[in-house]
Copies of this chain bind each other. A is one copy, B any other.
Amino acid sequence: MRGKGGRQTIRDLAAIAGVSISTASKALNDTGRMGEETRQRVKRVAREIGFRPNALAQGLLSKRSFTIGLLTNDTYGRFTLPVMAGVSEALVDRGVSVFLCAIEDDPALGQVHVDAMLDKQVDGIIATGKRVDRSLPIDLTDVPVPVVYAFTEGGPESVSFRSDDAHGATLAVEWLKTNGRQRIVHVTGPEDFFSVRERSGAFRATAGEGASVFFGEWSETWGRDAVERIWAAAGEKPDALFCGNDQIARGAVDALRERGIRVPEDVAIVGFDNWEIVAAQMRPPLTSVDMDLKELGRQAGLTILALAEGLTVEPGVRTLPCRLVVRQSCGAGGSGEAGSLGNDEQRR
């Protein structure tokens, strides 16, 4: 019934239903006054011919396009993807579609994309990136539509969302403690990352001020190197490692195995990011902190929608709790739940 050449307009609908255009419109939108019989007839005909209103025409009049833009400089990254999924999921059933604009780190390209979106009358823009403490290469403070920031720096007057890294670190350490670990060490990325400072701060607060933190880079290699350094040093060895991301964790596990140290029996490991493709494939599968970026995307989506509808939203940074995805790298789990969902993964 659909796709029969040029789309049907409300004019066609009105003609078939034997009413005027205005009556047709009012019938469909449940506005205006008319006999119930007429209203139902119009609706029935609309259903029969598969009428769908032209959103361009609606947007022209209503000044709402039911379209938003998602700007990111993290084209290939694994952060933007879950955020996008969340945004899309939150908005699709409200009829909002999402323009995705990958702008790399090119300000000119960013401007082109922003202009194109504004021309298309987007109702708002969500800016997202790969790092919480860096901003996109383009200034959005003057765009004439609402903007919210997710997983990227937005400036003081903005509405921003990010995960609560301190909370994530606390979750990890507490889980290790629950499992009886005493000497926990934190191996993480470069200290100039805000997330790194956030997490290491919470780590020290929870694991004890004396607990050591090793800053390095976000690579597997660094995970291996860190283990070499720690085990080469004199003194008592850790019985648990909290790693700044899953790649570091993976390097660490490999290095431990090479030394004949068993995971999780001798050393328990917790990672960060819960990057499924690494965490779930590791042997043993890695317990990891999940930043719940999809939820972050959902919230950003709902917020931009609220702003687009004219509601006011308090500026400031909103942090979202992390959650721990328990797999086998810390043992079977404290409360005996681990494994109850099969031997691979357990959520929540």
A98 pairs with B97, CB closer than 8 A: no
| Number of residues from A at the complex interface, CB < 8 A | 57
> With contacts A60-B54, A121-B55 known, is A92 near B109, CB below 8 A?
yes
How far, in whole Å, are A238 and B100 apart by their CA atoms in the complex?
Answer: 46
Cβ of A92: which chain B residues have Cβ within 8 Å of it? Answer: 101, 109, 112-113, 116
How far, in whole Å, are A286 and B115 apart by their CA atoms in the complex?
Answer: 40
Q: What per-residue 1/0 map shows which CB atoms of A54-97 lie under 8 Å from chain B? A: 11110110000111011000011010011011001000110111
Q: Which of B54, B84, B120, B283 contacts A55 (CB 8 A)?
A: B120
Cβ of A102: which chain B residues have Cβ within 8 Å of it? Answer: 84-85, 88
B119 pairs with A54, CB closer than 8 A: yes
How far, in whole Å, are A96 and B120 apart by their CA atoms in the complex?
Answer: 10
How far, in whole Å, are A102 and B91 apart by their CA atoms in the complex?
Answer: 12
Q: Which of A81, A84, A85 has the most CB of B within 10 A?
A: A81
How far, in whole Å, are A327 and B281 apart by their CA atoms in the complex?
Answer: 25
Q: Does A289 contact B (CB under 8 A)?
A: no
Cβ of A157: which chain B residues have Cβ within 8 Å of it? Answer: none
Cβ of A3: which chain B residues have Cβ within 8 Å of it? Answer: 142-144
Q: Which of A66, A92, A96, A247 has the most CB of B within 10 A?
A: A92
Cβ of A156: which chain B residues have Cβ within 8 Å of it? Answer: none
Cβ of A119: which chain B residues have Cβ within 8 Å of it? Answer: 52-55, 95
How far, in whole Å, are A7 and B70 apart by their CA atoms in the complex?
Answer: 21
> With contacts A3-B143, A116-B95, A144-B3 known, is A60 near B52, CB below 8 A?
no
B59 pairs with A56, CB closer than 8 A: yes
Task: Give min CB distance, A273 to chain B, whole Å.
Answer: 12
Sample 12 A-B pairs with CB under 8 A, ordered by A number.
Answer: A3-B144, A7-B144, A53-B119, A67-B99, A76-B82, A92-B109, A95-B116, A95-B119, A97-B101, A98-B101, A220-B281, A247-B281
